[in-house]
């Protein structure tokens, strides 16, 4: 058994070393290689600076001139509703969009108010149930205390009767 655990331990150590070399090896290789190359470069003359002469980036108008003109002629000419919508002035479209957003906000507000009212109703119901439970607990506690007092009183009376019966010799009869 000890031989098997020794073999397992040896395999584990070998696996750990190989894993560490696979993870750290490439980084160490490039670090050492860069260090050697860097030391070789330091003995040579300094490299001249690179000259990067790239053309300026193209603008969107140069790439696709049709995208700048967003009013595409013939778009939606087959659909009368879309054609009517596209002919509306921009201000009217914005006004309509604002009205739609206001309607959505009103609906959202109404939904929140209904949800809040429902939450208040449920919380009130739970509060009433909790008060009932507390009242019932108090009643049970007072009843338990009364029963305990009566039990003590009954034990005391029983003890006194038994003692009196022993004094009079009524035990065996």
Q: Under DSSP, is residue 44 helix (H, G, I), strand (E, B) or coil?
A: coil
For 138, the token pair is 């108090």
Burial of 43 (0-12, 13-18, 19+ CB in 10 A): exposed
What is the predicted pLDDT for the residue at 43?
A: 46
Question: Domain locations in the chain?
Answer: 82-147
What is the predicted pLDDT for the residue at 80?
A: 80
Distances (CA, A) of 60 to 56, 63, 64, 70: 13, 5, 6, 13
pTM: 0.36
What is the predicted pLDDT for the residue at 11?
A: 84
For 137, the token pair is 């607990």
What is the predicted pLDDT for the residue at 63?
A: 67
Q: How many CA within 13 A on the CB side of residue 113?
A: 6
The per-residue pLDDT for range 42-85, each reduced to its tens digit, is 444 567 777 777 777 777 666 666 555 555 555 656 778 877 77
What is the predicted pLDDT for the residue at 67?
A: 55
What is the predicted pLDDT for the residue at 152?
A: 95
Strand residues in 2-139 grouped as ranges (E)? none
Q: Pick out the chain residues at pLDDT < 50.
A: 40-44
């Amino acid at each position: 058994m000890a031989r098997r655990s020794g073999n397992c331990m040896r395999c584990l150590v070998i696996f750990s070393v190989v894993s560490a070399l696979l993870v750290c090896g490439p980084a160490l290789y490039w670090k050492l290689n860069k260090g050697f190359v860097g030391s070789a470069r330091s003995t040579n003359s300094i490299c001249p600076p690179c000259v990067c002469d790239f053309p300026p980036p193209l603008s969107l108008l140069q790439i696709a001139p049709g995208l700048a003109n967003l009013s595409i002629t013939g778009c939606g000419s087959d659909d009368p509703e879309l054609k009517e919508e596209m002919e509306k002035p921009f201000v009217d479209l914005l006004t309509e969009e604002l009205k739609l957003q206001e309607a959505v906000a009103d609906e959202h507000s109404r939904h929140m108010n209904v949800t809040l009212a429902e939450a208040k109703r449920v919380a009130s119901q739970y509060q009433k149930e909790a008060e009932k439970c507390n009242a019932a607990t108090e009643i049970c506690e007072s009843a338990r205390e009364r029963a305990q007092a009566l039990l003590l009183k009954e034990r005391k009376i029983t003890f006194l009767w038994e003692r009196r019966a022993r004094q009079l010799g009524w035990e065996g009869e």
